[in-house]
Every structure is written in C-alpha cells, then in structure tokens.
C-alpha cells in the first residue's frame, strides 16, 4: 500500500485525525504539542499519526493536503489546517462550530476555558 493510500484510509476511517510530530501523549515539536493540547483539553477523541516514524507518510501528508507543514488536522475527512489555523479557530469559536456541524463530541466548557485564558 502506498503512503497516499495509507493516509487516505486513515483519514476516512477516523472522525478526527492529527498528523503530527510525535504522539498525542508525547508531542515532539511545539506546534504539534499546541494542537494536541487543544484537542486533548477539549476531550476530542482522535487518531494521532506520528510522521517522524515514517518518512513516506511525513512527505505524503504534505502532498495529500497540498499543505507544506505539520501538524495537519482532519475532521470527518476534511483537511482543516495546521497549528496557526487551529489556534485561530479555537480562539474564535470556529473550531467548536466545526465540531458541532460534523457531529464530533467535545467539552464545550473546556473550549470556553481556552478562550478565557487567552482573552
């Protein structure tokens, strides 16, 4: 199976997927840590894919999304963005709206606490 096939299968099989450096319990870069931290704090169930474990996946995800950086968040098969976009969406409430629209369970109080802490 090619890296593209593996990526496509992962994105289709999971409601929320984070392609990141490291894992959700042990991120290995600040940007991955920030996005995983938001998802973890909000109680989102998600699959984490450590791109450092496979060079083909690391390059393949950039080609798959036509996005040059990692981390990359997918929700219900749709590419949402990287660290800056997820941070902005979290603070504006757009990420909450996306999760609600896509039927992804999350902790609304935790999302509010993130915004309060960054106001």
pLDDT band at 1 (very low <50, low <70, confident <90, very high): confident
Distance CA 59, CA 9 (A): 16
Distance CA 119, CA 114 (A): 9
Distance CA 55, CA 36 (A): 21
Q: What is the mean pLDDT of residues 92-119?
A: 96
The pLDDT score that the predictor gives to residue 74 is 98
Beta carbons within 8 Å of 104's beta carbon, 6+ residues apart = 15, 16, 44, 75, 76, 98
Structure token pair of residue 65: 């999304």
List domains and CATH numbers for the chain.
3-117 (3.40.30.10)
Q: What is the pLDDT of residues 64-94, one digit of tens each?
A: 999 999 999 999 999 999 999 999 999 999 9
pLDDT band at 119 (very low <50, low <70, confident <90, very high): confident
Q: What is the pLDDT of residues 27-44, one digit of tens each?
A: 999 999 999 999 999 999
Whole-prediction pTM: 0.96
In 3D space, the residue among 38, 55, 39 whose CA is nearest the CA of residue 47 turns out to be: 39
């Amino acid at each position: 199976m090619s890296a593209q096939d593996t990526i496509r299968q992962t994105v289709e099989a999971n409601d929320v997927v984070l392609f990141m450096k490291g894992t959700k319990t042990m991120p290995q870069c600040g940007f991955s840590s920030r996005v995983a931290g938001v998802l973890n704090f909000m109680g989102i169930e998600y699959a984490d894919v450590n791109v450092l474990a496979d060079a083909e996946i690391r390059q393949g995800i950039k080609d798959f999304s036509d996005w040059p950086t990692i981390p990359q968040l997918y929700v219900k098969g749709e590419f949402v963005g990287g660290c800056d976009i997820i941070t902005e969406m979290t603070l504006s409430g757009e990420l909450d709206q996306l999760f609600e629209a896509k039927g992804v369970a999350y902790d609304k109080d935790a999302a509010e606490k993130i915004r309060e802490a960054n106001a």
